[in-house]
Structure 1
């Protein structure tokens, strides 16, 4: 009797198991590998902004090569149009350039010595991830147009005559089956456009009719990111061949660094940023002839660095971290290039500006005194935290973390997961229990607070170590030594949508702004939005985030639907909660607007009960009479 063959999972591995995807299918199947996280546009690093950036990068490369001084960006609803006035794509290659992988001019280093994108994938990804994509190229009074749907060519127009100026125009509509319920937020795009202008002094970008232009490069960037009365000395601005720096110090804790390569904002840093951090410390020690602690020198620093590199190597398609060790293929190392520039130019500047040198010295010595005052309690607190971390009941950790070096195998896929890493900060066992059961254990962690945290406005960093919860939160985030060790890309405050919940949000925000302002400035902190109401009948359930959404749901559903008011996160079942923290998660970014003074904001909202705040509350108080049942009846009828 023949023995029956038993099939075990994974055993059916044969020729049929090997799949070959064309370029469109692969991009659409694994979009995160090409554009990072998807999102709905509520976060500045969501994929829809990466699509805009990929098209803009090509325009910037044309400007860098000396072709075209103006770029136009127009967004109407969900339709994006980008027009440059460069050389235009060669007419015979218009279709190939946006639809064939490994096709493009950027493989020819003579044409694009120091461009942003070198792998020729960017516009192909935009094409594949768009419902509609149209490219038009004009060269010498001739125009060629091609139209696509989800990467598939639907119409290739014949060449025609035109009086338009040379250049390329791309119009696309992101695919709403991939980017669900997405919306463009102008403030995120403005940041992107300002960075382009700061890095390309003289470039003019017109966004929906508004012009953006910078004359002083990174000096303008730091002036925009700081307030004159909060910095310790005038901004130092240094420029050289293929490198530009701007530096100052503020009164805040931590480091605030903005790094760029070939016009690309490397939000996760890389070899150039690390070279700056090391080179700055060495130059300062040599100048003052004193072996200051590294942390004392860099605490409070606000700086921007931009370098131009031949054929840069990034650690992913989204180009957020530089991996290049050298400035040129056979040129100096990044560490040597940046270090030599600092030791020469910054040293010269400090010798010529003794008042700045004195102010910088005083800032370093202030940090030194504060560090020594903290030394004893910091050691005890860290020992307690180390023991607690072994069995930290406050933290339900996840598998992937932002600060871990991904293995070479599946690197892009893992980096996409790292971009999704999120820690939810909750209050109370019921809320944290629901989120913990509903979360994605690979990318979502939960940190549970016990009641309301301390109002730490006006307190020194000593309280971070004296307060057990603050110390454990600091360790969970891994931010004691700075932003480079941050374990999660998104920090989401998840509290009840009532007065107590809002107060807890303010207290957590005060903690971050007081001691770790970089988290907010680098747009890592959010507030979770969860539905206030569930409206349902026998056929459909609608979750509503506001009174207006509830009214619309009551009108839509027939009969007398059941209305549930969620008074707290703990009242939402884990099964339901999974819908609100998944791909369709709604969260509001906590931002510091340009011109805001952090200490003044904290004084106003979290300081003593001033007459100003009292007057504001009285003038803006809205009294609501609860006529909910009458209103529902009226809407239904």
Structure 2
């Protein structure tokens, strides 16, 4: 193999702009096409809104207007406005901004002066206008390069307006999902009481912060009055749900949603344990106190340290002691003032302890009968790399996936075409048990449910998950859809935190193949099929009912770089539990009526 020469000519220095466009993942995490809540187009929107919210935090401007139409995003705030002489620098020169000054911004997320520069560099068009004291300064860019500037006088109130279009050269044929944007905007509203955000002419505002957030998530399912506390640097809320497993947390730092938690979330959990144990004068185990809990924490830190530019996990260690202390004291104060709620909480922990001991007995028997098969699991074709396994192969570990398939035919097709380094396959025998409303002990009484849990590594929580994505890959027929629902019920009943972490997906495979001797088109809907038939002369049409019907030589492309995945997400735990009960619970007259009305 010919070797290229490695000399001075191969050393390159990229400008900051070129580096952002060449390595966008370092700045916004991922590109994507808008089908996932963490896709890059939503990060661009977040970076711009963050600046407007930072103005509100510092006491300037209580309204923000956001408009998204035809892939054009416009954000207008009524803060102080960028200083007119620095408008171009602030959106185009890396490490330029006022976020380094405690006098101007005390609790800002955007501490590194990169955010809007990345938006500018990754947009086909980007315009920023600053209004101050009856004057304005405006600059327009294309892919980060300055196109035009303007200054003058105008009657507009002080503030900043940013408008941008994400670059299709980078993001492809993307589209904004309005539900994802609304969810993010609600996050801003909960964390900034008094802030009003107008999104496409509808106003979002919260009066009670994290209490409103939890109330929306759990509603009437809360076992007792939601415990809520707010001070200058910390706000938290939590409650327990009856019949829920695991722990679910919403955590924030300076308004930034830290999906992967961090030191503040760990301290919050420790404070809950200490507060409850101290009040009840017990020494309960952490899992007994926290099983079934739903909590939210938001803190303000002057110098937050995150593990990456996308700020998903906080690393500051010096905050632990004061968070633990504040959480513990606030919980004890609440329980002293609310003895009825304290009694309900006490009973929940006792029930958790009883269930854990019962579960441990069942676990013991299940493990003995399984002879600690560990990862030598029947029907599992494993891959080499796993989530969190290696720092030297971090990208491969994060890319690792497991396909949950039905039957040997489908799993055989995937197994023959998969990437053995990053793609694992777990084959189900058919329809699994409907676990809605059943205790967690059912997992240990059912070999298939148990093997699936051990294969994923989630017995002790989502922290042990062995794959970056868990992908449900079932046939596109009634049986396949039923198995898909049974699997989603399994995860939403016992491993809700895996779904909330954005790790569960559904694989989309083509329903039709339309082809002639010159051309082949794969179609994912009847409309696409009809369009393909109209365009391809003398075509033959094949309907794929099952994954096993697709030739492995063809199938490889559907789980390769062009893989199409639908993320499984939930609007709120309260709504999710109602939906599960309706579709997967007892066969009520309402469900029978629904089936009859929609049978055709």
Q: TM-score, normalised by structure 1?
A: 0.89
Partner of 1:323: 315
Q: Per-residue CA shift, 1:481-500, capped at 9, x if unaligned?
A: 22333344433211000011
Instruction: Quote the Cα distance in structure 2 between the aligned partners of 1:53 and 1:442.
Output: 34
Partner of 2:274: 282
1:105 counterpart SS class: coil
Instruction: Quote the Cα distance in structure 1 between the aligned partners of 2:215 and 2:467.
Output: 29
The answer as to 2:448 corresponding to 1:483 is no
Partner of 1:460: 439
User: Does the 8 Å contact 1:135/1:168 carry over to 2?
Assistant: yes
Partner of 1:394: 379
Partner of 2:265: 273
Partner of 2:188: 196
Q: Per-residue CA shift, 1:320-339, capped at 9, x if unaligned?
A: 1111112xxxxxxx220111
Instruction: Quote the Cα distance in structure 1 between the aligned partners of 2:390 and 2:299.
Output: 23
Cα separation, partners in 2 of 1:156 and 1:482, compared to 1, 3 Å: same
The answer as to 2:177 corresponding to 1:221 is no
Partner of 2:518: 539
Instruction: Quote the Cα distance in structure 2 between the aligned partners of 1:288 and 1:595.
Output: 29
Partner of 1:427: 406
Which of 94, 113, 117 is the equivalent residue of 1:124? 117
Partner of 2:136: 143
Which of 335, 338, 347 is the equivalent residue of 1:362? 347
Instruction: Quote the Cα distance in structure 1 between the aligned partners of 2:168 and 2:366.
Output: 49
State the shift of 1:158 in Å: 2.7
Q: Per-residue CA shift, 1:360-384, capped at 9, x if unaligned?
A: 1100010101011111221343466
Cα separation, partners in 2 of 1:269 and 1:503, compared to 1, 3 Å: same
Partner of 1:579: 557
Which of 46, 49, 58 is the equivalent residue of 1:53? 46
Q: After the TM superposition, which residues 155-554 of structure 1 pair with which residues of structure 2 at under 5 Å, given as runs?
A: 155-228=147-220, 230-251=221-242, 252-326=244-318, 334-382=319-367, 387-398=372-383, 401-403=386-388, 406=391, 414=394, 420-441=399-420, 443-554=422-533
Partner of 1:626: none
1:223 counterpart SS class: helix
User: Does the 8 Å contact 1:36/1:419 carry over to 2?
Assistant: no
Partner of 2:145: 152
Instruction: Quote the Cα distance in structure 2 between the aligned partners of 1:391 and 1:301.
Output: 33
State the shift of 1:222 in Å: 0.5
The answer for unaligned runs of 5 or more in structure 2 is none
State the shift of 1:72 in Å: 0.9
State the shift of 1:406 in Å: 4.5
State the shift of 1:175 in Å: 1.5
Which of 72, 81, 105 is the equivalent residue of 2:98? 105
Instruction: Quote the Cα distance in structure 1 between the aligned partners of 2:48 and 2:553.
Output: 40
1:305 counterpart SS class: strand
Which piece of structure 1 moves more, 501-510 or 107-116? Answer: 107-116
State the shift of 1:20 in Å: 1.5
Which of 590, 596, 599 is the equivalent residue of 1:618? 596
Partner of 1:74: 67
Which of 558, 568, 582 is the equivalent residue of 1:590? 568
User: Does the 8 Å contact 1:419/1:489 carry over to 2?
Assistant: yes
The answer for unaligned runs of 5 or more in structure 1 is 1-6, 327-333, 623-637
State the shift of 1:587 in Å: 2.8
State the shift of 1:476 in Å: 2.8
Q: After the TM superposition, which residues 22-37 of structure 1 pair with which residues of structure 2 at under 5 Å, given as runs?
A: 22-37=15-30
User: Does the 8 Å contact 2:375/2:454 carry over to 1?
Assistant: no
Instruction: Quote the Cα distance in structure 1 between the aligned partners of 2:381 and 2:410.
Output: 13
Q: Per-residue CA shift, 1:511-548, capped at 9, x if unaligned?
A: 11221223334443222221101112333322111111
Cα separation, partners in 2 of 1:20 and 1:267, compared to 1, 3 Å: same
User: Does the 8 Å contact 2:217/2:574 carry over to 1?
Assistant: no
Instruction: Quote the Cα distance in structure 1 between the aligned partners of 2:425 and 2:134.
Output: 59
Instruction: Quote the Cα distance in structure 2 between the aligned partners of 1:36 and 1:382.
Output: 40
Cα separation, partners in 2 of 1:385 and 1:39, compared to 1, 3 Å: farther
Q: Per-residue CA shift, 1:578-628, capped at 9, x if unaligned?
A: 433345433333333348444443333223433322221111121xxxxxx
State the shift of 1:295 in Å: 0.5
Instruction: Quote the Cα distance in structure 1 between the aligned partners of 2:306 and 2:385.
Output: 20
Partner of 2:34: 41
CA RMSD in angstroms comes to: 2.2
State the shift of 1:223 in Å: 0.4
Cα separation, partners in 2 of 1:583 and 1:296, compared to 1, 3 Å: same
What is the aligned residue count? 599
User: Does the 8 Å contact 1:402/1:419 carry over to 2?
Assistant: yes
Instruction: Quote the Cα distance in structure 1 between the aligned partners of 2:103 and 2:595.
Output: 63
User: Does the 8 Å contact 1:535/1:562 carry over to 2?
Assistant: yes
Q: TM-score, normalised by structure 2?
A: 0.94
Instruction: Quote the Cα distance in structure 2 between the aligned partners of 1:540 and 1:556.
Output: 10
